[in-house]
Each structure stands twice: as C-alpha cells, then as structure tokens.
Chain A
Amino acid sequence: MLRPWLRQCPRTVRALCPRCQRDPPRFLPIVSNQTPRRSLQTSTADSSDRVPLRKQLKQDAKSLKAHKRQRRESEEASRQKWELTVGIEIHAQLNTDAKLFSRASTSSTDSPNSNVALFDLAFPGSQPEFQIATLLPALRAAIALNCDIQPVSRFDRKHYFYQDQPAGYQITQYYEPFARNGHVDLFLHDGIAPEDGDQVPIGIKQVQLEQDTAKSQEYPPSTQLLDFNRVSHPLIEIITMPQIHTPATAAACVRKIQAILQSCSAVTTGMEFGGLRADVNVSIRQRGEVAGTHHYGGMTGLGQRTEIKNLSSFKAVEDAIIAEKNRQISVLESGGVVEGETRGWTIGSTETRKLRGKEGEVDYRYMPDPDIPPLYIGPDLVTELRKTLPTASDALIATLVGSEYHLPIEDAKPLVELDDGARLEYYQDVVDVLRDLQSDQDPKAQAGLGRAAGNWVLHELGGLWTKSDLAWDADRVPASSLAALIDQLQRKHVTGPTAKQVLAMVFDGDARSIPQLLEEENLLLRPLSREEYLALAEEAISQNPQMVEQIRSKNQLGKLGWFVGHMMRTGEKGRVEAHKADSVLRELILGPP
C-alpha cells in the first residue's frame, strides 16, 4: 500500500530500528530533515567499545552541534522579523503502461529510443491519441489529495525550444486542469517545523496532466545524446497554495505528497529515482509591515517571489529554501530589490544561483491544443475510484495511535510506511491472533497487546530483517508464530531474552511450532524457588563483599544491577527473572523493606 521512501534509502531504515542494531555505530550523515525519526536514533552512541578516534569524533559532533544551535538561533531571529512564503510544484511520473498521447510503452529500462511512436517524435502529420488508462493513476492521486475532480478539463500547449522537447511544446493542462481545490494535512510526525504547531493544512491549487520530456545526456563539448523513451510519459503536476512558511514544512509537504502518491499507486518511483521533481516559489515579507504588492494563487500581499527549479531530494527542498530565503533577506536588508527570476540549486551548495532573469523569462505562449478534445470525467468513475482507494495513511496512523492499539506515533508511522503496507498488514495479523490467544486475560492486559505486538513486529523482528539485509517477507516468521511467542511472554512462560532467542531461531528457519519448540528446547520458564534465589544471591554477595559495602555505605544502588546480571549468568539459563532477583538482593543487602 505505502511504498516507503525509506526502503530506497537503506541507511535511514537502519536508523529506524536502532534498538536491534548490532553493527558498530556508523558515522551517520547529519540529515536535518529527519526530525520525526530523531527520537529513534539515540541509542547508537552507547556502545562501549573504545575507538581511538572517539574523542575526536565527540568533539567534532559537539562543535557541529554548537554550530547548528547558532544557526538555529539566527534562523529564529530572522524568522521573527521576516515571514517566508513558499508554494511548491511537484511533477510526478504516473504509474501507467502507455504514454499520454501514444500507444508506445512507458518502460524505462528498454534500450534508448525503442519506445517511441510517430507522435512522440513529433513527426509531421502525426496526431495525439489520448490514452484513457493514464487517467486512472492521475485520478487516484487527485482523489487522495482531496481534490475536486473537474467534469471537463482541457489540454494546452506550453511552448519552449529545447532538444528534449521534440514538438517545441509540452502538452499540459494550463487553463482547465482536471483537479482543483485539494489539500494535504501535515502533522508533527510528518516532520513539520515546531513553530508550525501540531498541524498545518496545505491547499492544493490544482493537479494537471502533462507530458514528460526526453532524457538528454551531455557529452561536452558538443555532443548531446537524446533518448525519447521518456517523451510523453504521463506526469501529474501538483501545485500547492503558497501557504508554507518554514523550510522544514516545505520538505515535509513534498515528502508527504510523495507518500500519498505512492500509497495509492499513482506513481512508481520517488525522488531518489527521478520519478518526482519539485520546483519551489519563495518570497519573503517583513512581519507587521505594509502588505506586499504581489499575489500568487489567490494569496495577496506577498513579496516578490523567485522560483527554484528542479529540486530532486527532500533535503534539497529544505536547504534551497533556507538559502534562497536568506539571500532575499540580505538583498532587502541591504536596501536592494528582489527580482522575479528563476534560480537553480546544486546539491551540497549553500547558495541558489540565478538561471535566468525576468528579461530572459520564457513566455510559454499557452494555447489550447486544437487536436485534443476536452476530457470528460464522469462522476461514476470518480465514485468507483474513491471506493477502491486504500485508506489514507493519516487515517491509519490515527487508528494506530488511538484507543484500539495504543501505539506510540514513532511506531505507528513506520508501520504504515514500511514495505508497501505489508508490515502493517502483518502487524494486524499478529494482533488478531494474539487477541484471540489472550481472550482469557483481564482487560488491562488485553489493552497492552497492540503496543506489545508493535514492539515485536517493528523492533525485534524488524531488527532481524535489518541485520539480514533481506527484503521483507511476511512468511519468514508467520504472524501466528510471532503471536504465539508474544502470548507465551505475556503469560510469563518465557523470559524476554528467551523470547528473542526463539524469534531468531524461527527467523533462521526453525519450522517447529512455538509450543513444540519451547518444549523440545527446554525453554519454558520453570520459576526458581525463593530458596534457589537466596542461594544464588548469597553466593554473589559472598564473592563481592566490597561492592556490597559500597552499596550499603554509599547507597550506590546502580550496582544492584550488576548483581542481578551476575545471578542471571550463574543461574540456570532462562530461569532467573530479573525483577525477582532484584528484590531478593535488596532484601539481603539493604535489609527488609
């Protein structure tokens, strides 16, 4: 259901399941737009191995932190003074077999220039043939973005000369797009800036169908190779209202829209593979000042905007906006004027660069395409598609964090996003079986099952998957097995460590049922008697009188944990329960409560 942008970025996925990560800590790049996941990234540092460079690294991290804090503070100061306004245009390749106006295939893996029809090459005398099937993913996207589907829409020609544009124009929907007035809601867990509060609704002005261009490859000084396979691949362009006021929220908006498009199978690939590109419009105005004179998308009183073209990652969106905002502020603060112009951004850079000024601005000379009839979309089609659309991720997350499952938001989000929704489906299966198995338990215990299952599915099992570096497969550890295991754990028939050990065995191919496995491997918890605990504790105490003294005289209670561990190591494997060991130790060392 949800194709995760995470999966295509393995480093981030690993960072998602840090509790199970056993690799030595990696030097993770500082990724500033990963706010929602930061809480999950904390534990990698407490590995105790002594790296010679550790001190150095620590200092580096510290100075970087200080630098970031400084930057944050100056950002905040300028934010108090200047209001940023951002609108986004997102171009996404639709998930369809045929091109927009020819029967040629959209396959992108074939050899160059093998999927081209006469019209794709703009041969004289050829005419467009609209492929109705391309409408379906476009409609799914527009419905998922809460748009009003227009009963009549039309195609227009947008003119400009470039070698990747064979007709000299792109066919798009400029005057009458097929969808208008949508919105997308951004929440804290979507990574919006803290100053934006808990939730930001962003209006979608319109969604339009249009053609992609050819792929061109430059071989300096004078060769350009052109692959027309991509020409006329159907795209949708999504235009948001200029309602975004922070760079992080802009990035979150693109990320969220991509996730929505992927969740309804409207697109095949995300930004990492060039399936999605964003242009951003950036303007600033001084807070409390007289309103600006510009208006965009029905928003009035804005400052002069500039457009930054072709941003190909979420980070680029955020960084380019920050850089452009700061450039505009320094222009205005030094008494200059912001020019309406098109600018570009290179990944890793700190400044946007001017591509062309207003005088060089292309007049696209939009003209209704005289060959293509209007597109009539019946309400029945829209209704049918609406019915078959998967539940929106916002609604799924709301359910997961709600009273039925009690999942923390940081677990709910990856569950929804991972493995095209397969992880969520698996989780649902585990919970269903587990609830059945636990139906004899009291309501309080039952209420915690959703959370327990989430922990095991996402972190314990997730950790095994991450370590194996394999793609998700729901059958590797059947949902019923995991549920049975959690059931045993909940009933205290096994200890936590034993349960993890059993999970690893099943993951590695042990096909026995959980009860059989526990029985045959002698893993069921046979509780120790009080006498046995006392014996273990006394032995530990007698061997380490100094530590006992330290606990008693200096109240170093933390050392009790060492004794618990000692008892677990010396006692019969899997039988010593930590909390019981702890209470016996306290009794012996500190005296009865």
Chain B
Amino acid sequence: MSLLREAERCIINQTSHAALNAFITPLQRSGQWRECVREADLRSEQGKPKSKVDGRLVSVKDNICTREFPTTCASAILKDFSSPFNATVVEQLNDAGAVVAGKTNLDEFGMGSHSIYSSFGPVQNSRVSHDQEALSSGGSSGGSAVAVATDQCFAALGTDTGGSVRLPAAYTGTFGFKPSYGLVSRWGVVAYANSLDTVGILGKRVSDVQDVFGILNQHDRRDPTNLSPSSRSRILSNLQMPKFASRMTSRPLRVGFPVEYNIQELAPSVRRAWSSTLDRMRKQGHTILPVSLPTTKSALSAYYVLAPAEASSNLAKYDGVRYGTRSEGGDMHPGEALYATTRGEGFGQEVQRRILLGAFSLSADAMDNYFIQAQRVRRLVQKDFNDVFAANEPLSSLQPNEGQEPDDGVDILICPTAPSSPPKISKLLDPSATTPLDGYMNDVFTVPASLAGLPAISIPSTTDCHEGDDEGPAGIQVIGQYGDDDLVLQTADYLVRSNS
C-alpha cells in the first residue's frame, strides 16, 4: 500500500471515529501534507526514504507546540492559542519526512488519568464495556492512544509525567513507551511538571515505536535538561560492557517482579496477565526473581505532592496578558486578586485543584512537610530501583562496580501498568461514584518509574478473557534501568513475538 493510500485511510478513520473525540485539531482532508506524502512515496520507490517514518502520519498531543496547528493543551485559557514555533520533536519528525496528523485530545495540561478533563470534551475508548458503555481511554494522552488504536494515524506522540502515555496504552491495547528522562527534547513541550515530563511514543507495533524513538533520541541544546552528547556516549559505553551487551543475545534475562506491586486492589484479570507473562518467560529460560521496591507505597503520595507543586509554578504564566484567552471585563476588579477572573474561567476543575495543591505544598508553612519530604521519597524510590538493577545508574557519581556479577541484580522489571482495566466514563464523571483520589490511584504502578526517570513501556496484555469478567484489556509494563531504553524496547518486542 502506498504511503498516500495509508495516509488517506487514516484521514477517513479520523472522520469516522470523530465521536471518540481523539483529536482537538484533526488533519484537513486537503493540504500541504498530501504533497509531502507523495514526495515520500517517490523517495520510497527510489529506495531512498528519508527515514523509517518518511511519509507517515504521526499525531501529536496538543500540549506539544506546532506552528501549523493550534496548541490548546485542552484548556479554555489556550483555546485559540497558536505557538510561534515548533517543538523540537515536531521539527525532528518533519525533518524525517513524517507528517503531523493533527493534535490529539488530552486532560487539560496533562493533568488527569482518563482524558476526561478536557475543555474540548472527554476522549472515548474505542472499546466499550459489555453493556456497551463508553470506557476511559486512559490519560492524559488518551487522544493519542485512541488515535493509534483506531488507525487514525501511524503513531502518536504523547507526554508522560506520571504514566500519561503508559496508562492510555494499557487501556487501548497499544504500545506506550516513556523513554528515560532527558533523552527526548522537551523544547516546545508545554510544561506540567518539568522534572517528570517526558515525551512518549504510542504505536501499534514495538518496531513503530522504535522507529519514532530513533528519530527523537537526539541531543537538543535548547532543552537544558536534555542529556549532553558526552553523557549519552558514557551511557552507551557502559551498556557495551560484555555483561550488559550479552543480555538477550547470549544469555537469558534476569527478570524482577516487584512484590509490592501485587496489591490487594489488583484486578484478577490484571494479575492473571502479569503472572502468565512471567510464566511464559520462565518457560523460555529466563530467570524470574521477586524483588522489593519498599518505597513504592509512598511513591504515589510523593508524586502527587511534587507534580502539582511544579504545575502550580508552571501554570502561573497563564494570565491572558501576552497570549491566551483573557476573561471579558478584565482582571483589575477591586478586592480581587490579580488575574483571578481570567484564571478562574480559563482553568478547568482538575487543573485548579492541582494548582491549589501545589501552592499549598510550596507555601512557607507546608514546604518542609510536603515538598521537601516528597523530594526525599523521590530519592528513596530511585535508590530502590538502583538496588534491584544489575546495571548502575549511569549518571550517578558512583563509579560502576566492575566486580559486580550479573546475578547481583535484575536486568528488567515486569509489572502491571494499571491495577485494573478501563473504568466506565459515566462512573468517572459521577462525583458520587468517584473521587479525584480514585483517579490518582490509577497511577500507582506508573509513577515510580517517572519519579526515577526510568524507561518504561506498556504492552497490551495477552491474557484470554475469562467468562464473567466485566473487564477489558490490561497492560503489562516493562521497566529498565536509566538509559537502558533499548533493552526495554527489545524485551517488549520479545514478549510480543514469543506470544504469537
């Protein structure tokens, strides 16, 4: 099939699945993109494609800046905002010949786990419950995940701050990859919580994710948190040591399953998917080991202190003065705080909740008890992971222990992505049935890797649906040591192939 045919099919799907609300700004039927794809077809015929994604349609989450499309972050305060520049990841895709397939829906500024807190309306999963009710797509990159799941594009970019790529992937049956923090540029990615925000990739196949990652995994000097070329080569040379280079090639993997993740609330179908994945790997000769990540229980609390703290700071810039929507009648009402009207009208409920949470935990009297404590927990979470992985954290000041034998740790961790399969949207929107805290609970398995900046991918679970289960798909998460992104992707690919 030609690239153009494939692209046109995506456009048709964007129209036919419009009700899922995956896009805030879909691709127009006609436009410059046709020319680009045609040229890519020509290059492909000549055997000279620009890249593996040349001529492919890649959706971009609407909190990533694009010049050609508005960038709304699903917020009323930016509903008419167009960025004057492209994010580095968008430039990289363009340079590789890919075409932006539109801007996908999300939880406002990335804050949410079900893509229901959007001023453009909730995203719907293409799967429905047994009683035909709409299910959550997961969030906050729900639009990107649904777009991929329903072939509205070839692949999609999302952002993952505490699981926002992995959770929707698990709920939609797609692959959602969050690379190590600092590998992919954040220039042009609208900040939610800078120290956690990571551009992630959603795709239908691991190889698609790998292809896109290959294009984005570059140094960018405009992002001060982006890894320098020298750090990158240090990580690479570390992984080229025989004991690491041999993994998956000449020796089986040592796979850890974190015992703390086997929580009571784990849905039976998810637990089955997890154990059958581990079983399969054991049968294929890999070593399966129980490991302990004792700080896991505190990780979620720490995340919901740190992320809102950064969010309250990052979102202070939205005042309607220089860009964005300003409330009618202005902001200088006597007796009212500056910008109160604009921000009160422009931000949705969940964003306001997190701004308040963050403002509180940073306030002088609460700082020590919340923000500082949470930063300590974050260190402990990182230490937990370092204690179980055979590979050292390559950026730490500690020298890699050359004498350490591989059997001192695991190569990879395998655990569920989310405790349950997607809930019904109606239930989520019903305040008597769900509190905001229930939403936060969904991130319990994804947040630790975010706090530690580790690479993690969610792959669709392969468990068979049992009779009587009122539950749909679940995701299995593969987590690697910092910088071990390739092993994470290879493991995901291996799991898919070994199952078919």
Binding site for B on A (CB under 8 A): 118, 121-130, 157, 159, 161-163, 166-169, 222, 226, 363, 365-367, 370-373
Contact call A373/B224, Cβ cutoff below 8 A: yes
Nearest A residue to B332, CB-CB: A222
Contact call B330/A123, Cβ cutoff below 8 A: no
* Interface CB pairs A-B, < 8 A, 29: A118-B84, A118-B85, A121-B323, A122-B317, A122-B322, A124-B81, A125-B190, A127-B186, A127-B224, A129-B224, A159-B313, A159-B316, A161-B319, A163-B319, A163-B321, A166-B317, A168-B315, A169-B313, A363-B363, A363-B364, A365-B312, A365-B364, A365-B367, A366-B367, A367-B309, A367-B362, A370-B194, A371-B191, A371-B225
Contact call A372/B224, Cβ cutoff below 8 A: yes
Binary A-proximity of B113-154 (CB < 8 A = 1, otherwise 0): 000000000000000000000000000000000000000000
Contact call B65/A125, Cβ cutoff below 8 A: yes
Answer whether residue B87 sits at the interface, using C-beta atoms and an 8 A cutoff.
yes
Chain B residues with CB under 8 A of A363: 363-364
Answer whether residue B211 sits at the interface, using C-beta atoms and an 8 A cutoff.
no
Nearest A residue to B73, CB-CB: A124
Answer whether residue B69 sits at the interface, using C-beta atoms and an 8 A cutoff.
no
The 4 closest A-B pairs by CB, nearest first: A168-B316, A365-B362, A370-B195, A122-B317
With A118-B85, A166-B321, A366-B362 as known contacts, state yes or no: A127 contacts B313, CB within 8 Å: no
Answer whether residue B304 sits at the interface, using C-beta atoms and an 8 A cutoff.
no
Nearest A residue to B324, CB-CB: A124
Label chain B's interface by main secondary structure: loop
Chain B residues with CB under 8 A of A163: 319, 321, 338
Contact call B224/A371, Cβ cutoff below 8 A: yes
Answer whether residue B351 sits at the interface, using C-beta atoms and an 8 A cutoff.
no
Chain A residues with CB under 8 A of B71: 124-125
Nearest-CB distance from A505 to chain B (Å)? 62
Contact call B330/A222, Cβ cutoff below 8 A: yes
A459 to B85, CA, bound (A): 61
A550 to B138, CA, bound (A): 114
Chain B residues with CB under 8 A of A127: 186-187, 222-225
Chain A residues with CB under 8 A of B309: 367
Contact call A167/B310, Cβ cutoff below 8 A: no
Nearest B residue to A101, CB-CB: B224
Binary A-proximity of B47-91 (CB < 8 A = 1, otherwise 0): 000000000000000001100000101000010010111010000
Chain A residues with CB under 8 A of B85: 118, 123, 125
A124 to B73, CA, bound (A): 10
Binding site for A on B (CB under 8 A): 64-65, 71, 73, 78, 81, 83-85, 87, 186-191, 193-195, 221-225, 309-310, 312-313, 315-317, 319, 321-323, 330, 332, 337-339, 359, 362-364, 367, 371
Chain B residues with CB under 8 A of A226: 321
Contact call A169/B316, Cβ cutoff below 8 A: yes
Q: Which of A125, A128, A367 is close to B83, meaning CB atoms less than 8 Å apart?
A: A125
A482 to B189, CA, bound (A): 67
A112 to B81, CA, bound (A): 23
Contact call B310/A365, Cβ cutoff below 8 A: no
Chain A residues with CB under 8 A of B186: 127
Scoring A157, A169, A366, A367 by chain B CB atoms within 10 A of each residue's CB, the highest score goes to A367
A123 to B187, CA, bound (A): 11
Nearest-CB distance from B148 to chain A (Å)? 23
A126 to B194, CA, bound (A): 11
Q: Which of B191, B223, B316 is close to A161, meaning CB atoms less than 8 Å apart?
A: B316
A307 to B322, CA, bound (A): 32
Contact call A125/B189, Cβ cutoff below 8 A: yes
Nearest A residue to B190, CB-CB: A124
A334 to B291, CA, bound (A): 70
With A124-B73, A124-B81 as known contacts, state yes or no: A367 contacts B225, CB within 8 Å: no
Contact call A168/B319, Cβ cutoff below 8 A: yes
A386 to B71, CA, bound (A): 49
A126 to B73, CA, bound (A): 15
Chain A residues with CB under 8 A of B330: 222
Contact call A125/B321, Cβ cutoff below 8 A: no
Chain A residues with CB under 8 A of B222: 127, 129
Scoring B84, B191, B312, B317 by chain A CB atoms within 10 A of each residue's CB, the highest score goes to B317
Q: Which of B194, B339, B359 is close to A365, meaning CB atoms less than 8 Å apart?
A: B359
Scoring A118, A121, A159, A365 by chain B CB atoms within 10 A of each residue's CB, the highest score goes to A365
A121 to B323, CA, bound (A): 9
A365 to B312, CA, bound (A): 10
With A161-B337, A222-B330, A373-B224 as known contacts, state yes or no: A121 contacts B190, CB within 8 Å: no
Nearest-CB distance from A352 to chain B (Å)? 24
Nearest A residue to B365, CB-CB: A363
Nearest-CB distance from A126 to chain B (Å)? 8
Contact call B187/A162, Cβ cutoff below 8 A: no
Chain B residues with CB under 8 A of A130: 224
Chain B residues with CB under 8 A of A372: 224
Chain A residues with CB under 8 A of B332: 222
Contact call B187/A125, Cβ cutoff below 8 A: yes
Nearest-CB distance from B190 to chain A (Å)? 4
A451 to B188, CA, bound (A): 66
Chain A residues with CB under 8 A of B84: 118, 123
Chain A residues with CB under 8 A of B363: 363, 365
Q: Which of B81, B188, B191, B317 is close to A168, meaning CB atoms less than 8 Å apart?
A: B317
Nearest-CB distance from B24 to chain A (Å)? 15
Nearest-CB distance from B450 to chain A (Å)? 13
Chain A residues with CB under 8 A of B371: 367
Nearest-CB distance from B316 to chain A (Å)? 2
A371 to B338, CA, bound (A): 26
A366 to B195, CA, bound (A): 16
Nearest A residue to B360, CB-CB: A365
Contact call A371/B194, Cβ cutoff below 8 A: yes
